[in-house]
Structure 1
Amino acid sequence: MEDRQHHEPPAPRPPLWARLFGPVDIASLVCFRVAFGVLMMVEVLRYIPRIERYYIDPPIHFTYYGFEWVQPWPGDWMYVHFGVIGLAALCVTIGLCYRFAAAVFFLGFSYMFLLEQARYLNHIYLLCLIAFIMIFVPAHRAFSVDAWLRPKLRSDTVPAWALRLVQLQIGIPYFFGGLAKINHDWLRGEPMRMWLAERADRPLIGPLMTKEWVVYFFSYGGLLFDLLIVPAMLWRRTRPYAFVAALVFHFINGNIFTIGIFPWVMAAATLMYFPPDWPRRFRDFLGRLLRLPAAEPRPTPPPLPLPTRATGAQKCLLAFLGVYTAWQLLFPLRHWLYPGDVAWTEEGHKFSWRMKLRDKAGTVSFHATDPSTGESWRIDLRGKVKKWQLSEMTGRPEMILQLAHHLGEQLRAEGVPDVEIRVLAPVSLNGREPQFLIDPDVDLMKVERSLLPASWIRPEAPLEPAAQARLSEM
């Protein structure tokens, strides 16, 4: 009689919450903490020479909806503010009063970000989010002043959720950035074609910038990179090649476009997709390569068992992680709630990882009317707004509305109580023919800031004969 082999059924896979709270090596998280802290110190130092220009001199600051109360510190206190967040970044780096320092840095850096819409950059928003999650991840349990001062804090492991949260936050901009590039303009090479042409005078690479194959290489290469880099980093077999591709991608981006420390942050963050103990392996490899005396092997502790039951604190943390993840996945999709092309209307554009998708060129003029006399005049913007703010505002309806209200309030204070403000804003999107962005017949003083669809923003459509005549007169 043929023997039958009896195989034990495979052990059931632990539930997700147990895997999230299971221990993993802390080494990669410590390296990221140090890299993030150092890069944030560099970023603060980069801002210091620009504090007066961006945060002290402007007579108006374009705040975000709901954050109108965020205003610059008076006098020279903005310099003190940047000094504090620089010190907080240093404390994050060395792990001194880590959680408090991370919270101070997040609040201070986010305050700086919220002060001025004209300075909006996706990578600054990402730095704010990373700073926020660094408050919660226990990246100070090793190689830190805190761990040296408090031996009970020391640990070679952290819960797996800490690494997964960082990986998620880094992966979301890639995914949504690639998803947003699947649109007609990007697939036909705009606005990449215009941006590369502006760099045609650069030595060595300049002549290549006007080649069509280069335009499409950047456009389609960027799209595929954004969509595929995270899956490729998650798969062990493609991870080394994906990492090299990421380094090349960020190096090229950093040299062609002015994006500050962003390439370095992303290069450091991409290392988080390697096994958590990669720094220890790299250290051992260097030791063998340089023939350094091997350190005494530490006894390998037995693997810690997965938790069998979630505590109340763990359930609260899981709820927080679920809400935060849902917000990060849903908020970038809110532009589908608005009519029209988001690249034109800007409704739902910010905080959605819609990176490098539109180039707007145009002009904007503000016209006041005194209804009691019927007199109308064009408002002179000199001294009322900075040129760098005006340049950014031209294609941003929400910023135009803010300035209209600011100018109207000034005129009311000067004795025109019922002043009306209208705007002529011919704008070209990605090289197309200019069209009016704002309805020139709408009195913007009667329009309140809102998250609802804005009827005063004109749809991107051919101009009517009357509007075309008005545009030709400008």
Structure 2
Amino acid sequence: MQDRLNRWLFKQVDNSALVAFRVIFGLLLACEAFGSIATGMVKRAFIEPKYTFTFIGFDFLEPLPDYWMYVLYCTMGVAGLLVMVGYKYRVAMTYYAITWTYVYLLQKSSYNNHCYLLMLLNYLMIFLPAHKSASIDARVNPGLRKEHMSRWIYIFIITFIWIIYSYASIAKFYPDWIDGSFPRYLMSIRGKEWSLLQETWAHEAIKYFGLLFDLLIVPLLLWKPTRWPAVIASIFFHLFNSIVFKIGIFPYMALSFLLFFFSVENVHKWFVWKKTFYAAGEIIVPKTRNWIIAGTTTFLLVMLLLPLRHWAIPGDVFWTEEGHRLSWRMMLRSRSGYATYTVVDKDSGERTRIRLSDYLSNKQKRAVQSKPDFMWQFAQKLKKEYAKNGQDVAVYVRAKVGINGRRPVPFTDPDIDLADTEWSHWNHHEWILPSPGYTREDD
């Protein structure tokens, strides 16, 4: 059994796909960093706001002062370019992974699953031998050069991709997607520049294509007779997302995963034809065999189990958001709402209604009026602000939230002091009112 497993996992295959992926990935990392400066994202997210909303538990993180955030992003861009050319690869990749984790955890106002995926890939790429061919490192140090890698790398990457797509599809099996109402609403707000996308047939096409693409794309790419149709579907799907939703580098990163589904001969011929092709097919079992199997298995199990945690938390995840993050629940819902924050001095009883624009950017204001973790965090921030003046205060939030364009309905218990509650990543919060049990007649 062990010999069979060794032959399956540690047979050596040509590494052209991983090498080509490194080049594209490094370029995308550089584009993400320099593009964040050019588009004003760094200024909007880190320099202009009075506060940043970190992931809960990482409140100690603060933006770098003055314009040092620009310097940070510039160095990240340089690190991306070093990854691309394969110079000081592991140092550059480690640096980008750490700095990306910092900016990812520092602010979640612009959170999406793509940022989470990029963080995971950064750390995975540190440990993969992507720099051992067609790189400056391999040219400077010929002893490093290898034209092959173990097959487990292919298996691991494809399995990881399959998990992501599968959960993205499974999450769409909910009423608003199945009846087409959310695709229709999504196009009305995100695709309003395109009259074609306001047609009923377009909404139906988006509904079925979005669900079936995520569900079937990996099996179709793995089966040779359906590979090219699946590639064409991938190009259409991701370019559509890039043009309509403007979601940065992610569509192109997703397209780069296609490298791992073609034969090694074709990838070598198409992308890195100057490197020597490896075809010996040796079985080389590394001394770290057990660590590799344990590490990759643990990682994939976490990826399988973490998105299921919302089933263990009472309430509808679409309403409560509890268990929504880190679960590959992509393009599923839109939240809107309005909220009033009232601060009450515990000693004098004086009540103050908070003017959100005194504290928050427009994007942050939308978040603290519709998303529960932002509501709780803002209550904590207000308590700390008033504590600076020696005041012990309670913070009450009266919020109404609407899902997917519906009429907003009460979301929070206005009699609970949010500043005096604890946050749990694994349990329901009683100050979130029960889901109204929406039906389409409520629209």
Q: Percent identity?
A: 35
Paired residue for 2:429, among 444, 451, 454? 454
Measure the CA separation in 1 of the matches of 2:114 and 2:399. Answer: 28
- Any unmatched runs of 5+ in structure 1? 1-11, 288-294, 464-474
Deviations 1:31-66 (CA, angstroms, capped at 9, x unpaired): 100001111111111111332221122111111122
Measure the CA separation in 2 of the matches of 1:188 and 1:354. Answer: 18
Helix, strand or coil at the partner of 1:191 = helix
After TM superposition, the structure 1 stretch with the greater mean CA deviation from structure 2, 94-103 or 432-441, is 432-441
Q: Is the 8 A contact 1:19 1:160 kept in 2?
A: yes
Q: What letter corresponds to residue 107 of structure 2 in structure 1?
A: E
TM-score normalized with structure 2 length: 0.93
2:264 counterpart of 1:276: yes
Structure 1 segment 375-386 matched on structure 2, within 5 A:
375-386=350-361
Deviation at 1:191, TM superposition (A): 2.2
Deviation at 1:311, TM superposition (A): 5.2
Helix, strand or coil at the partner of 1:427 = strand
Aligned to 1:142: 133
Measure the CA separation in 1 of the matches of 2:59 and 2:15. Answer: 40
Measure the CA separation in 2 of the matches of 1:416 and 1:18. Answer: 68
Q: What letter corresponds to residue 84 of structure 2 in structure 1?
A: T
Measure the CA separation in 2 of the matches of 1:15 and 1:184. Answer: 45
Aligned to 2:441: none
Measure the CA separation in 2 of the matches of 1:339 and 1:442. Answer: 19
Aligned to 1:51: 42
Change (3 A) 1:410 1:151: same
Measure the CA separation in 1 of the matches of 2:49 and 2:271. Answer: 50
Q: What letter corresponds to residue 38 of structure 1 in structure 2?
A: L
Deviation at 1:462, TM superposition (A): 7.1
Change (3 A) 1:283 1:427: closer
Aligned to 1:396: 371
Deviations 1:108-165 (CA, angstroms, capped at 9, x unpaired): 1121111111110111111111111110110111100011011111111011122223
Paired residue for 2:290, among 302, 311, 315? 315
Greater Rg, structure 1 or structure 2?
A: 1
Change (3 A) 1:135 1:302: closer
Measure the CA separation in 2 of the matches of 1:345 and 1:17. Answer: 46
Structure 1 segment 428-467 matched on structure 2, within 5 A:
428-451=402-425, 452-461=427-436
Change (3 A) 1:368 1:97: same
Measure the CA separation in 2 of the matches of 1:431 and 1:425. Answer: 16
Paired residue for 1:89, among 80, 91, 102? 80
Q: Is the 8 A contact 1:29 1:276 kept in 2?
A: no
Measure the CA separation in 1 of the matches of 2:315 and 2:200. Answer: 30
Aligned to 2:223: 235
Helix, strand or coil at the partner of 2:224 = coil
Q: Is the 8 A contact 2:401 2:411 kept in 1?
A: yes
Structure 1 segment 344-359 matched on structure 2, within 5 A:
344-359=319-334
Paired residue for 2:389, among 414, 420, 428? 414
Measure the CA separation in 2 of the matches of 1:200 and 1:303. Answer: 51
Deviation at 1:302, TM superposition (A): 7.0
Paired residue for 1:32, among 2, 10, 21? 21
- Any unmatched runs of 5+ in structure 2? 439-443
Measure the CA separation in 1 of the matches of 2:50 and 2:418. Answer: 20
Q: What letter corresponds to residue 303 of structure 1 in structure 2?
A: A
Aligned to 1:306: 283
Q: Is the 8 A contact 1:133 1:166 kept in 2?
A: no
Deviation at 1:199, TM superposition (A): 5.4
Q: How many residues align?
A: 435
2:243 counterpart of 1:255: yes
Q: Is the 8 A contact 1:118 1:393 kept in 2?
A: no
Q: What letter corresponds to residue 186 of structure 2 in structure 1?
A: W
Q: What letter corresponds to residue 420 of structure 1 in structure 2?
A: A
Q: What letter corresponds to residue 411 of structure 1 in structure 2?
A: Y
Q: Is the 8 A contact 1:17 1:318 kept in 2?
A: no
Measure the CA separation in 2 of the matches of 1:434 and 1:218. Answer: 26
Measure the CA separation in 1 of the matches of 2:390 and 2:203. Answer: 54
Q: Is the 8 A contact 2:399 2:410 kept in 1?
A: yes
Q: What letter corresponds to residue 383 of structure 2 in structure 1?
A: G
Structure 1 segment 171-250 matched on structure 2, within 5 A:
171-198=162-189, 201-202=192-193, 205-206=194-195, 208-250=196-238
Measure the CA separation in 2 of the matches of 1:232 and 1:450. Answer: 40
Q: Is the 8 A contact 1:366 1:378 kept in 2?
A: yes
Measure the CA separation in 1 of the matches of 2:278 and 2:432. Answer: 64
Aligned to 1:20: 9
Deviations 1:224-251 (CA, angstroms, capped at 9, x unpaired): 0000001111111111111111001111
2:298 counterpart of 1:330: no
Deviation at 1:303, TM superposition (A): 2.4
Change (3 A) 1:431 1:304: closer
Q: Is the 8 A contact 1:130 1:169 kept in 2?
A: no
Change (3 A) 1:412 1:13: closer
| RMSD, aligned α-carbons | 2.2
Q: Is the 8 A contact 1:361 1:428 kept in 2?
A: yes
Change (3 A) 1:372 1:393: closer
Measure the CA separation in 2 of the matches of 1:261 and 1:154. Answer: 30
Q: Is the 8 A contact 2:104 2:115 kept in 1?
A: yes
Q: Is the 8 A contact 1:435 1:460 kept in 2?
A: no
Deviations 1:297-333 (CA, angstroms, capped at 9, x unpaired): 97x87724324xx554111121111111111111111
